[in-house]
Amino acid sequence: MNTFSNRKQCLTLLKQVVLVAPFAAPLFAMASPGSDAIRTLAQDDWVQRSVSLADMGITNPVVLQESDNHQSFFLPVPKGVALDAASINIQGDFIKGEEAAAALRLSVDSRPLHAQRITEREGDLARVLPVEARRHESGFVDFTVDWSSPSGQTLCEPTRQSSNILTLSPDTALTYRYSMQGLHTLADAWSTLPGKPVILIAAGKLEQQSFDSAWRLGVALERNAKRAQVRAFPSVGETVAVDGLKIPTALTSVAPFSALAGKTQHKVANAAELGALLVLDASATRADLAIADTALVGQINAALDALQDQLKNDEDAVKAVQEWRSRHASAAQKVPGSQQIQLVSLGHQAVIAVAADAGAKAAGVFDSHWRNVLVSSEATISQAGESGDASQREMRVSALGGSTTAFDVVTRGEWTAVFPLSAVAVQGRMPGELVLDVAAAPGASSTLPVASVLWNGILLNAKQLSADGQPERLTARVPGYALGVTNNLQVRFQRQPVSPNCAEIPQGYPVNVLPTSYLRSSDAEPDGTFVGLLPLLAGNAQVIVPKTALDNPAANLRQIIRLASAASVSPVNAELTLADSSQVFKPTKPFLSLDVPVDGAKPLIDVKDLQRLRAGGDEKRLLDLTGPQPLSAASVVDSNNQHGVIWYALGDQVLTPRAPFVFNQGNAVVLGEEGPLTWVDSSNPQLSQSMGLSETPFHQWRKYLAWVLPLFAASLLVLLVLGVLARRQKKKQGL
């Protein structure tokens, strides 16, 4: 009986197993290590960001060497997004030459987080300060360094330079992350852009409309103190970097992910590997902005479709990829409509997608004057021009970021406004005259305070103030050579402290840069120099590039963006013209020509046969050089009654200067990888004579003789006619 009963139980159990087996198969599929790993990647929506002092334009070390130093840095962060895992990685060092100890205090958002008494003779400043995980409605994290040293035995002694010196490196950086789900507006997305944002374009030959939008978007970034990078979506057969990939262990044995494991570089074998690169958020597919034309959207979808097809034997892995696509590839869900910009996702990045025809208007709406109105994730732009009224020539200095509140000065104080050139170069005009209204309260000393005005470290004007609390005016011309991509306007106040016999501690008295201060723009005055040409190029200009630039768009776009930014070309108003570089072109507007010869142009520096760098005229050749590469040259020229800049490359390699610069000196320049190498100014009498540009001592008077001689000739002709008429009249009277 027991044997029969056991057999019956076994048969019943076997039936249950057979009946349940079809339902158990999906459960085993759900347990696929590959699908679990892909789902983990899909659920990770953190976006990593870092902003360093160098990204903000502070490229030189910050040296604190006074006896009492207080230095604040305002590091930009998105306003409406909560930061997570945020910290400031401080890099620098100190040297202590004084006998007494120095004091160091580090604060974040006005909260002291580190205080230390420094007794060592030298040391490293490397420290990590936590930043509170919250929203920063101001749009900044305030990082402050206080470095002080004993200055004397008596309190009334003025501050002085100390041999205790602290140096802060430009590599000091704020790192943080935020949830992609917490980013809802285009304005916030723009504020999260890194110092070197990447514009993604389609692989292969680019359509002219997409090419046009890409360079405009890049120049808009450059005008906002960003260093634009252009990257084409990778294609099959291309070699990409994979050394930074974090491949989950479960995927290292799953094709096509397995082909990417354990390498520093990889040659893409098929479209499925491109899909794997997207899922793993490889640097080759990472972007911050994208020209989302039909070609790019199609290439992204083709890569992800190929990945799904290769994983078709693992149904749950396919579902995991689909889940990943819905969360991390919204950029490929549809092509943006005409004149539309969208906030989308691609990999582990929030991406600003720009329609192929929206480049000019996107550049206008992302101007500092308008971008804060982009409080949605999508916008269609019917019209967006540059800010400012064409008839309005004055701009309040307070609009450039300077404070209008008073501050106390004991011995020395500085008022500062930092702004990009694009903020003051609008409507075809450039900064011309600076008018500053300042006021200073009386001090204890009979020596009157001095106010000095500096633009990018160049002294424009200085004045001893009456110091009676009433407004006083300083006026200064803004020379073209003082302009930069990023401009620093300073008003420096200096007082003479007084404390007879150290009977009292010197006190500060208020000074103020008043809100009535303004910057007046000036019209273009073409005089054969870069500076005279910049206002024309900032207006309705023509950018002329070879038609072949569409074949290798990424490299050529980087070059166009950097040169157009250097020439202050407007990304909103300029016109892109594709020309045959083997034919002479006749421009119809002020122009920037890149490797396209223009009719009648005689550049001071040119390139012959892509190999020879030449300077001077044919009769008096100053330089004829073969060998150094890669170099390029730009010169001011005239063509078809239009003024412009022509640029030629030396060598086959497309050269893009790393550092931003402005054409603000002379009328010709030789460029290298680091930027301008040498400027040529033909108005220099010695140089112009050696180059055959002047043959008489009257060369410097050519501007005036150009209109004085015709006027003199006309006056002489009038006098002769009057003389003849008078003589005839006398003859008639004599008869």
Q: What is the 3-state secondary structure (H, E, C) of 35-101?
A: HHHHHHHHHCCEEEEEEECCCCCCCCCEEEEECEEEEEEEEECCCCCCCEEEEEEECEEEEECCCCC
- CB contact set of 87 (below 8 Å; sequence gap of 6+): 128, 129, 130, 131, 174, 175, 176
Q: Are 9 and 248 in contact (CB under 8 A)?
A: no
Left if phi > 0, otherwise alpha if psi is -120 to 50, otherwise beta: which for 344? beta
**Which two structure tokens, joined as six digits, stand for 580?**
């045959």
Residue at 199: amino acid letter: I
List, for residues 194-210, the tens digit of each pLDDT value.
889 999 999 999 999 99
**Which two structure tokens, joined as six digits, stand for 17?**
């197993």
Mean pLDDT over residues 310-324, rounded?
92
**Which two structure tokens, joined as six digits, stand for 491?**
């008003």
For 149-206, the DSSP string reads ----SSTTSPP-EEEEEEEE-TT-EEEEEEEGGG---HHHHHHT--SSPEEEE-SSSP
Mean pLDDT over residues 678-684, rounded?
77
Mean pLDDT over residues 494-518, rounded?
80
pLDDT given for residue 19 in this prediction: 46
pLDDT given for residue 502 in this prediction: 65
Beta bridge partners of residue 52, listed in sequence order: 173
First to last CA, the chain: 168
pLDDT given for residue 397 in this prediction: 86
Range from 366-375, 552-561, 712-721 carrying the lowest mean pLDDT: 712-721
Higher-pLDDT residue of 297, 402 = 297
pLDDT of residue 32 exceeding 80, the answer is: no
Closest to 98 in 3D by CA, of 74, 120, 70: 120
pLDDT of residue 193 exceeding 80, the answer is: yes
Mean pLDDT over residues 5-13, rounded?
52
pTM over 0.85: no
The distance between the two most distant Cα atoms of the chain, rounded to a whole number of Å, is: 168
d(CA 541, CA 346): 35
List, for residues 631-655, the tens digit of each pLDDT value.
888 999 999 999 999 998 887 666 7
List, for residues 129-168, the tens digit of each pLDDT value.
999 988 888 888 999 999 988 765 555 555 566 788 999 9
Coil/strand/helix, residue 209: helix
The owner of tokens 């082909």 is: 259
Higher-pLDDT residue of 12, 301 = 301
pLDDT given for residue 357 in this prediction: 94
pLDDT range class, residue 240, cuts 50, 70, 90 = very high
pLDDT given for residue 537 in this prediction: 87
pLDDT given for residue 550 in this prediction: 95
pLDDT given for residue 28 in this prediction: 40
Dihedrals φ, ψ of 346, to 5°? Answer: -150, 110
pLDDT given for residue 405 in this prediction: 86
pLDDT range class, residue 512, cuts 50, 70, 90 = very high
Q: Are 510 and 403 in contact (CB under 8 A)?
A: no
Left if phi > 0, otherwise alpha if psi is -120 to 50, otherwise beta: which for 104? beta
pLDDT given for residue 303 in this prediction: 96
d(CA 258, CA 276): 10
**Which two structure tokens, joined as six digits, stand for 562?**
């950097």
Q: For the purposes of burial, counting CB atoms within 10 Å of the CB of 212, is it exposed (0-12), middle (13-18) or buried (19 or more)?
A: buried
Higher-pLDDT residue of 180, 628 = 180
**Which two structure tokens, joined as six digits, stand for 22?**
């079809």
pLDDT of residue 521 exceeding 50, the answer is: yes
Q: How many of the other CB atoms lie within 10 Å of CB of 629? A: 15
pLDDT range class, residue 268, cuts 50, 70, 90 = very high
pLDDT of residue 701 exceeding 80, the answer is: no
Q: For the purposes of burial, counting CB atoms within 10 Å of the CB of 123, is it exposed (0-12), middle (13-18) or buried (19 or more)?
A: middle
Higher-pLDDT residue of 248, 56 = 248
* Cis amide prior to 256 (ω within 30 degrees): yes
d(CA 466, CA 341): 54
Residue at 610: amino acid letter: L
pLDDT given for residue 706 in this prediction: 45
pLDDT range class, residue 710, cuts 50, 70, 90 = low
Mean pLDDT over residues 420-440, rounded?
81
**Which two structure tokens, joined as six digits, stand for 593?**
């020509």
pLDDT of residue 696 exceeding 50, the answer is: no
- CB contact set of 113 (below 8 Å; sequence gap of 6+): 106, 107, 129, 130
**Which two structure tokens, joined as six digits, stand for 331?**
């950029």
pLDDT given for residue 15 in this prediction: 53
Tally DSSP H helices, then E strands, for the chain.
12, 40
pLDDT given for residue 27 in this prediction: 41
List, for residues 52-94, the tens digit of each pLDDT value.
988 887 888 999 888 778 888 888 888 878 899 999 999 999 9
- Looking at every residue in the chain, the average pLDDT score rounds to 83
List, for residues 557-604, the tens digit of each pLDDT value.
999 999 999 998 999 999 999 999 889 999 999 999 999 999 988 888
pLDDT given for residue 231 in this prediction: 96
d(CA 448, CA 457): 23
Q: Are 664 and 480 in contact (CB under 8 A)?
A: yes
DSSP-H helix ranges across 443-596: 530-537, 553-566
pLDDT given for residue 92 in this prediction: 94
Range from 29-38, 197-206, 469-478 carrying the lowest mean pLDDT: 29-38
Count of residues making up the chain:
735
The upper half-sphere exposure of residue 731, i.e. CA atoms within 13 Å in the direction of its Cβ, equals 6
